[in-house]
Amino acid sequence: MQVWTKLFAKSPFKPLIKHSEVVLNTVETLERALQAWHSGNYGEMERLAIEVDRLEDVADRIKEEIRDSLSSKLMMAVAREDVLIYLHMQDKVADAAEDTAKWLLVKRPGELPAEIKELILQMGTESIKAAKLVHEAIVQMDRVIESGFADGEIEKEYGLIRKIESVEKEIDGLDTRLMQLVLENAENLSWGDGFYVLNIARTLSNISDKAKDAAERIRLMMNK
């Protein structure tokens, strides 16, 4: 606990960055799991998906330690409540990655149309890009604080937030296209495979949604 208190004394974002590093590791591991799934290497996919679950547990433990060590007596550049809300939102990104990993482990799909597999992989790449940008954004927020809210550092932060919002919009379009593809291939897909694909897509989309929520919280902290 004392470690987190010392970090908070330096900057309210130092502990958040430590937590974010684990979240980043979680989504990057999921990205490799999706690549293994796409190539049909299900043994490797299962190993990586299980690792995603383990990393999400680590992120949860760090979140709880940070929350328990954040005393109301600490003097910080941002409100304690804002830090806790952001921490919760950042942790939701790891939760969403774990949800996708669980769906990957549910079953080994039958023969899926190549176009559907490509689109799932694209959705994963883009959603995880949003999560990676959130890590960059919280690191940049620390630079904003250290610079005394210098205009140049603030503009860099807003640029990252806009990128996250742009990725989230693109994911919405990919999600719609995937639903169309599943319906177009209804005769070639079992009910189970269709359900499986749509739930992987839903959880992947949720990663970018949670990343956008975290970015919006950073924007609110910047504007206070």
How many of the other CB atoms lie within 10 Å of CB of 189?
Answer: 22
pLDDT digits (tens, 9 = 90+) for 81-132: 888 999 999 999 999 999 999 999 998 877 899 999 999 999 999 999 999 9
Averaged pLDDT for residues 9-22: 82
Question: Could you please report the per-residue DSSP string of 89-150?
Answer: HHHHHHHHHHHHHHHHHH-------HHHHHHHHHHHHHHHHHHHHHHHHHHHHHHHHHTTS-
pLDDT score, position 108: 83
Contact of 26 with 56, CB cutoff 8 Å: yes
| CATH code assigned to 2-223 | 1.20.58.220
> What is the pTM assigned to this prediction?
0.91
pLDDT score, position 199: 96
pLDDT score, position 118: 96
pLDDT digits (tens, 9 = 90+) for 58-94: 999 999 988 887 765 555 567 778 889 999 999 999 9
| Residue 7: pLDDT band with limits 50, 70, 90 | very low
Q: What is the mean pLDDT of the chain?
A: 90
Domain ranges of the chain: 2-223
Which residue from 215, 94, 71, 103 is spatially nearest to 157, judged by alpha carbons? 215
Tell which wins on pLDDT, 35 or 12.
Answer: 35
pLDDT score, position 43: 96
